[in-house]
Structures are given as structure tokens and as C-alpha cells.
Amino acid sequence: MSISEPAVAYRRNPFYSVPVFGWIARDLNEGGPDTIYYLLVALLTLLVLAVKTWGVVALTMAALAMVPVIMVVLILITVGK
């Protein structure tokens, strides 16, 4: 490459700059197909550690956070997608 040729700038998603969530998003987008399983194991480990620390309250909060996700899944199943 010579001095007269402009360098092609690689544009990255600005969300990738966020420390923890950006790394996870980049790995899910650009990583291998088994990356999602590593993420699920990490989330399950966090849930187990939260239940060990705070008890049933952490499990209840996790279940409460999953209610909108399950509602969307049920609607998508009903629609047929």
C-alpha cells in the first residue's frame, strides 16, 4: 500500500465499545456457532450464584424478568412464526 492510496476504514458497531455487553455482542455476532452456549452457561452460573447469595428472591426476580420474553414467545407460536 502506498501513501497515495486511502486506507479503508473498518466501521465497527458503537455498541461494541461498551465494556462487558459489547464484548458479548461482538462474540455473538462474529464468533463461532458455539458462542451462544458459552453465554447460556455463564448466565446460568450467574443465576446459581445469585440464588446462593440472596436465596429465593434472586430466583423470583429472574422469573419475573422472563415474563415478557415468554409472552412474546407464546404470541409468536400462536401467530405461527
Cell digits of residue 75: 404470541
Closest listed residue to residue 16, CA positions, set 27, 8, 6, 26: 26
For residue 60, is pLDDT > 60?
A: yes
Which pLDDT score, from 0 to 100, does residue 6 have?
Answer: 61
Cell digits of residue 51: 440464588
Is residue 8 assigned to a domain?
no
Is residue 4 assigned to a domain?
no
Is residue 5 assigned to a domain?
no
Host domain of residue 43: 14-79
CA 43 to CA 8: how far, in whole Å? 37
Mean pLDDT of the region 43-72: 95
Closest listed residue to residue 36, CA positions, set 46, 24, 20, 21: 24
* 8-50 confidence digits (pLDDT tens): 556 677 878 888 788 888 888 888 888 889 889 999 999 999 9
Q: How is residue 6 annotated by DSSP?
A: P
Mean pLDDT of the region 63-77: 96
Cell digits of residue 23: 464484548
Mean pLDDT of the region 58-70: 95
Number of structural domains (the chain) is: 1
Which pLDDT score, from 0 to 100, does residue 4 have?
Answer: 65
SS3 8: coil
